[in-house]
Structure 1
Amino acid sequence: MASSTGGVQTVERAIDLLEIMTDLGGDATLSELADRSGLPLPTIHRLLRTLVQRGYARQMPSRRYALGPGVLRLADAAGRQLGAAARPHLERVAAELGETANLAMLDHEMAVYVAQASSTHSMRMFTEVGRRVHLHCTGVGKMLLAALGEDEVRAIAQRTGLPAATEHSITGADELVAELGRIRERGYAVDDGEQEVGVRCFAVAVPDAPLATALSVSGPAARVTPEFADVAVPVLREEAARVGDRLAGR
């Protein structure tokens, strides 16, 4: 059956269930899946039976449903492909700026780090590939949010609640909307101790990427000063354009 968006409805519904499990930390009850998806229980049962048979979901002893090993296999393959395409460009950023470079993509209402090149300094950032972070308190996350409309941003803020990672984190929707306006005007985002105290990050969008993607450089605030943006942002923009070309298959 085709969906109103032109896709296949059964596939869309199965993906919805997997995304709900992901958003809930990797597993969910039938009632949670029903409440969040709006699907009737017989439909959920039928979809889960297929997902379990194919290894993309599993039923736990508690009768909760969790992501299965098939999802890990797909994620590992996708991560390797993205990392291979982006890593040379992240390494150029890290080598030229001397700080850790990260590539992150929009993952529903979070950002997920998909590639990284570490700083050569002994004191550096250790954000690991695969980590999912909130959008409102990270440089890459705010850059991804800046590409969305205000209504969508406010809807995300309402659903996530804008939890504070530090005392510097944005916790109000109006404040977030205003910050995103400033990001659009200057063309890059700043995380000034909002995710981790004492760490500053600059991020730019990756143009023409198939999914919303951002490239960042981060490090201790003592080295990554506000003035560091004058040097960092042009380098980030140049390599972000190259990453976008690679991801778009050009």
Structure 2
Amino acid sequence: MSPLSGRNKPDAQGEDPASEDRDYSVRAVERVCSILNLVQESVDGVTLNAVAKTTQLPKSSAFRYLWTLENHRYVERDSENGLFRLGLGFVGMQSRHLEVLRERARPWLEKLRDEYDETTNLGILDGDHVIYLDIVESKRTVRLAVSNGHRDPLHSTALGKAIAAHLPEERVRALLEQAGMPARTPRTLTGVDEYLAELVRVRERGYAVDDGENEPDGRCVAVPVLGTRLPAAISLSAPASRFPVRKIEPVARGLREVVEQIAAAPEAPEPPDED
């Protein structure tokens, strides 16, 4: 008898009358979905024990699931605390999340541009480079700016450092190996260990600096946008002659205040009116 004969034959609309009584779920797929749901609901990441408990699997089996997902970049493991969180494999699938982030950030980037009269940027990790999601250019004739969609290296930009400082070290090493670390200027960091040491300093002070490392006469400060589940950062960039080193810390404080607003707002926030 054909599998489509008898009472299981689809009706004129192609529906199987008995389909509502059947369970077509695949246990392995259900476990993967459970793991991803658990990971995406956690801001800080989840433990192997939590995954094993949720999936009702032995820890060794749960680890194999996580290892496979990590291998395909859907989860990543923090080498310092062993926690698992969503990986970069989902970034390309999150176009709506990217648009929401851009909408949230835009008015604040404009406010920062007007306050400092310099170009402000929103960037996100895309593959092994940083891509600019939004740019609010300085109104000055001479300014430091690129175009939306421009890609810059991870190792020579403040945006790249701010983002990389909050990625697992193994991931950073893999990205640097894939992209290389060419010298954009004489000041560019071109050694992996030197770069990782710089990321430690970025985490300690809460901001990253590109001091003539990507452009010979450029200076840029960036702060990561945490709490959005996207590897993103905002920055302010200017010619070094107009952006002295003594201004870096005050600008970084202004950027940190803005990212707190961006990450906390459920909808695109409006900056406060100027008095």
Q: TM-score range by the shorter chain?
A: 0.5 to 0.7
The separation in 1 between residues aligned to 2:29 and 2:179, in whole angstroms, is: 27
1:91 to 107, 110, 117: 110
Distance 1:4 1:144, change over 3 A: farther
User: Within 5 A, what are the aligned runs for 1:172-191?
Assistant: 172-191=191-210
User: Within 5 A, what are the aligned runs for 1:127-138?
Assistant: 127-138=146-157
Unaligned runs of 5+ in 2: 1-25, 34-70, 72-91, 270-275
- How far off is 1:208 after superposition? 1.0
Number of the residue aligned with 1:205: 224
**1:6 counterpart = 2:32:** yes
- Give TM-score scaled by structure 2 length: 0.61
2:119 to 74, 95, 100: 100
1:221 to 225, 230, 240: 240
Number of the residue aligned with 1:239: 258
1:112 to 110, 127, 131: 131
Q: In structure 2, the residue corresponding to 1:216 is in which secondary structure?
A: strand
Q: In structure 2, the residue corresponding to 1:113 is in which secondary structure?
A: strand
Contact between 2:105 and 2:262, CA under 8 Å: does it hold in 1?
A: yes
Question: Could you tell me the percent identity over the aligned residues?
Answer: 37
2:145 to 109, 120, 126: 126
The separation in 2 between residues aligned to 1:5 and 1:195, in whole angstroms, is: 44
The separation in 1 between residues aligned to 2:185 and 2:31, in whole angstroms, is: 40
Contact between 1:209 and 1:247, CA under 8 Å: does it hold in 2?
A: no
Unaligned runs of 5+ in 1: 8-37, 39-70
Contact between 2:104 and 2:268, CA under 8 Å: does it hold in 1?
A: no
Distance 1:242 1:5, change over 3 A: farther
Number of the residue aligned with 1:46: none
The separation in 1 between residues aligned to 2:217 and 2:167, in whole angstroms, is: 28
**1:141 counterpart = 2:160:** yes
The separation in 2 between residues aligned to 1:209 and 1:166, in whole angstroms, is: 32
The separation in 1 between residues aligned to 2:31 and 2:186, in whole angstroms, is: 41
Number of the residue aligned with 1:21: none
- Give TM-score scaled by structure 1 length: 0.67
1:170-217 CA-partner distances (Å, limit 9, x unpaired): 111011111111111111100011111100000011121130110100
Distance 1:205 1:162, change over 3 A: same
Paired letter, 2:185? T
1:156-180 CA-partner distances (Å, limit 9, x unpaired): 2212121222221111101111111
Larger radius of gyration: 2
